[in-house]
Amino acid sequence: MKLFVDTWGWLALADRGEREHSQVVSFYAERTRRTGLIVTSDYVLDELFTMMFSRISFEAASRFADSLLRSPFITIERITPERFQKAWEFRLKFSDKPRISFTDLTSMATMNELGITDVLTADKHFAQVGLNFRLLPE
């Protein structure tokens, strides 16, 4: 079963100062041992790199980013024009949830298209849209 990693998930893995760092590291290690099917998106990485380089040392951030980009076990999905359009449709559909970021909407569109329900995140927006996403770790 594939696992989509959201920005929060990557930040929790990269930043030892993150409150849930140890729990997320343990979960990620166990999950990758079992399945090894990790998916993220270029929009998530854009958001991650912006935040990560402002939160941790340049050396640690560049090491983490480089290992992520070079990993043969991580699939980086591109936000195509079709996925962008679906995210826009979600933006209009979820008008009652204005705090959902457009990056999250692109993630939801990608996950929905690929049939991925598990997401490494603490972002409750994924649970609020009725698309049966499961936030991990629980």
At residue 138, the pLDDT reads: 84
- 88-113 per-position pLDDT tens digit: 999 999 999 999 999 999 999 999 99
Q: Taking Cα atoms as reference points, which of 137, 134, 119 lies closest to residue 5?
A: 119
Check pLDDT > 80 for residue 129.
Answer: yes
- 9-41 per-position pLDDT tens digit: 999 999 999 999 999 999 999 888 877 689 999
At residue 36, the pLDDT reads: 66
- 42-88 per-position pLDDT tens digit: 999 999 999 999 999 999 999 999 999 999 889 999 999 999 999 99
Say which residue the tokens 């935040």 belong to.
51
How far apart CA 18 and CA 24 sit, in angstroms, is: 10
- pTM for the structure as a whole: 0.94
Domain spans of the chain, in order of start: 3-136
Note whether 32 and 67 are within 8 A (CB).
Answer: no
Sheet with 118-120: strands ordered across: 74-77, 38-41, 3-5, 118-120, 134-136
Question: Which class in CATH covers the domain with range 3-136?
Answer: alpha beta
